[in-house]
Chains A and B, each alone.
Chain A
Amino acid sequence: MIPTSHTLDPDDARNAAREVRKRRLQAFLFVVPLLVFIIFAFVAPITTMLYRSVHNPTVANLLPETLIALEDWSGEDLPDDTILIQFATDLKRMANERTSGQLADEINRALPGMSSVVKSTARNLRRVEDSAIATNGVALLLDANDRWSDPTTWRAVRDAGPIYSSSYYLTAVDMERTVSGGIAPRDTQIYKQLYTKTLKMALIITILTVLLGYPLAFFMAHAASGLANFLMVFVLLPFWTSLLVRTTAWIALLQTNGVVNSTLLALGITDQPIEMLYTQFATIIAMTHILLPFMVLPLYAVMRGIDNSFMRAAISMGSRPIGAWYRIYLPMSLPGLSAGALLVFIISVGYYITPALVGGVDGQMISNIIAFHMQQSNNWELAAALGSLLLILILVLYWLFDKFVGTSNIKLG
């Protein structure tokens, strides 16, 4: 109802307010299923996974008493006999509960080689009487393996204790905590290199998709609609094809006796097949192809909406075509370009399967090492830290992008 005067009748105001509330509730009810889906299928699992990067209660749960006892230990010499006996008792319990392997895994991360020491010592203690451990536990432990006599081992046990720890993030940036409590570079330097390389490759792929996608989208947007639709099928066809099929197709094309090499040899351009598969080149070319639609589609949608008369007006007023394009058309197509570039860049930073299949060594990206820690080394905490860093990195880049280009003008169509 339309109010006739500026002052509302209180009843009408109440009704109107109720109406607004009802509509809001209705609108909310419409999105509830999606909200619930997103929370359960996306937010919750990702949050729990990322939480792992700082939260690891395994050792604290397995060795509560030993850890409390170790709090007062100086860290220099072998811990007291009472601590050693407590540890031997804990180890026996773990052997019987069959959890010694979990402790072994945790300590092994700090001191490679400790996994078998923990497990074999636990096995030895499994059948020893509690009373024998109480009287003879120290000897049983120290005789089982030399490494129990080394304070370094006990520092590793103590340092694995805290439930909340930043050590996985330190590892993820190639650092570690030193004995004195400072922070120093690790012996193995790998993750920073991989992040840099991943960002570099994502950038190259984004630039390539712009170089290839922009002229194509421009041509399609200005072609007769029949031709444009026809070309659109070619853009969309690979989009509809399984990712694995497309990647495998690249293997067939690029391999040593593959289509590309046979053609080059037949044309006499080279006399030796060129190594293309399992290189960075293969990863970049295959990913550029796979991600091209993500660039072309938003560009095309935006370019279709640009009125041609602007360009004509600029040219008729004396601008040269290049100048007119640069000053009129490019800024107007920028929303599509931004959207496409962001899409391609963010997708390629986290890409996994294509680098794994065609990448060989120098085509590896950070996602491949995350998969290694998820599937092979079972260091889920480190995988979570690496994944969180990647997420933070993307958010920072997004923020920079917003600051310099502005996200408000992003347009998908």
Chain B
Amino acid sequence: MNKHLTLLVTLALTASPLMAQDLTVTSFGGAYGAAQREHMIDPFMAETGVNVLFEDYGGGIAEMKAQFEAGNILWDVVDIEVIDLERACAEGYLEILNHSVLPAGDDGVAAADDFIPAALANECGVGNIVWSVVFATNTDNGPGPTTMAEFFDVEAFPGNRGLRKRPQVNMEWALIADGVAHEDIYEVLATDEGQARAFAKLDTIKEDIVWYDSWSQAPVLLNDGGAAMVQSANGRIFAVIEEDGAPFEIVWDSHVYDLDVWAIMRGTENLDLSMQFIESATRTVPLSGMQDVAYGPTRRSAQALLSDEVKENLPTAHLDVGLKADGIFWADFGESLGEKFNEWLLQ
């Protein structure tokens, strides 16, 4: 009896520091979350013995703001879209990270040169994936549009267009279709005339737009015939082509790409452990695992590990025809364009 008690006490004593080593990591769930669990979370847990609580959220900074205002920080590490990162960092919800501690790539190249520049552009985050908003067509309907101008041409390519109901990406696409060069998009969109021009272009297809709210609806719309072409996150379309053999085709012309980064909640009690996790999760091999969901790794050394066939499906192979989403622009105009966009929808 006494022996058992000693054993229990010893167990309890040795286990308690481990129990305290809980790390809460928050990301977007779904297939993406599953890939992160397999390539980043599980290896980290096996390596360090730390217990990681892997949670989901829907993006945006509202939940961080709420935790911060309540003075009750529940998350340690969070996966955040760059479009939100700018605000979250400037409003002081995230820790400033020391990028110099990031390990070199597996090929020995220093982190600063191994990461693509955008991955370390913000002091609060370390790039995790490059993902992209593309449009996709259903090849069962015959040849579909292959450029953004054709996507807006309802005469030549009739049928519904499925678009996500928000100004982001749609405003950019409208200007591109109207002939504005990629490098001028955000400059034009910052003016009243530019915004009017974008809405005027969207007017030309308004009757043919089916609006949806969540990325998950995009492949469904394309599949059930609700739309002949849809806007979608590239990974969602890739997944249904790969898994279900859906007759969909991704069009990379004028895709709008962006990064997701790992960031640390300001005020977390597990600061060192959180940074340790980010260092581990953004090494070459874990990053290359993001190919499972067709998102491009942010290290060159990780891209080198991919086969040519896989590379073709990743946004990183098409950056030359793409537009980088401008987080600073959307921090400036997200709310006012959001209101104008809703007003336009009601007209």
Q: Which residues of A contact B (CB under 8 A)?
A: 97-102, 104-105, 108-109, 112-116, 119, 188-190, 193-194, 197, 255-258, 273, 275, 277-278, 356-357, 360-361, 364, 369, 372, 374-380
Contacts and interface: CB of A to CB of B under 8 A. Distances in A.
B331 interface: yes
28 contacts: A97-B92, A98-B90, A101-B89, A101-B91, A104-B90, A104-B331, A108-B335, A112-B332, A112-B336, A113-B190, A113-B333, A115-B87, A190-B343, A193-B346, A194-B346, A255-B226, A256-B225, A256-B226, A257-B226, A275-B160, A278-B226, A356-B213, A361-B165, A372-B342, A375-B60, A377-B338, A378-B61, A378-B65
Contact of B342 (A190, A258, A273): A190
A256 B87 contact: no
Given A104-B90, A190-B343, A190-B346, A258 B334 contact: no
Contact of A99 (B92, B190, B210, B212): B92
Contacts of B337: 112
Contacts, number: 109
A189 B343 contact: yes
A116 B332 contact: yes
Contact of A375 (B62, B209, B331, B335): B62
Contacts of B166: 376
A361 B345 contact: yes
Given A104-B90, A374-B62, 10 more contacts: A98-B266, A101-B91, A115-B87, A188-B340, A255-B224, A257-B224, A278-B212, A369-B342, A372-B338, A375-B62
Contacts of B96: 98
Interface in B186-218: 190, 209-213
Q: Which 5 residue pairs spanning A and B have beta carbons closest together?
A: A101-B90, A101-B91, A112-B336, A98-B92, A377-B335
Nearest to B266: A98
B106 interface: no
A104 B332 CA distance: 9
Interface in B126-169: 160, 165-166
B339 interface: yes
Contacts of A378: 60-62, 65, 87
A115 B96 CA distance: 20
A100 B346 CA distance: 35
Contacts of B346: 190, 193-194, 197, 364
Contacts of B331: 104, 108, 115-116, 119
B327 to A, nearest CB: 10
B180 interface: no
B328 interface: yes
Contacts of B190: 113
A278 B164 CA distance: 12
B211 A376 contact: no
B213 A115 contact: no
B298 to A, nearest CB: 24
B213 A357 contact: yes
B214 to A, nearest CB: 8
Given A188-B340, A255-B224, A374-B62, A99 B335 contact: no
A255 B337 CA distance: 30
A258 B224 contact: yes
A193 B328 CA distance: 31
A278 B208 CA distance: 12
A360 B211 contact: yes
A101 B224 contact: no
A190 to B, nearest CB: 4
A61 to B, nearest CB: 13
Nearest to B90: A101
Nearest to A113: B332
Given A98-B90, A378-B87, A188 B224 contact: no
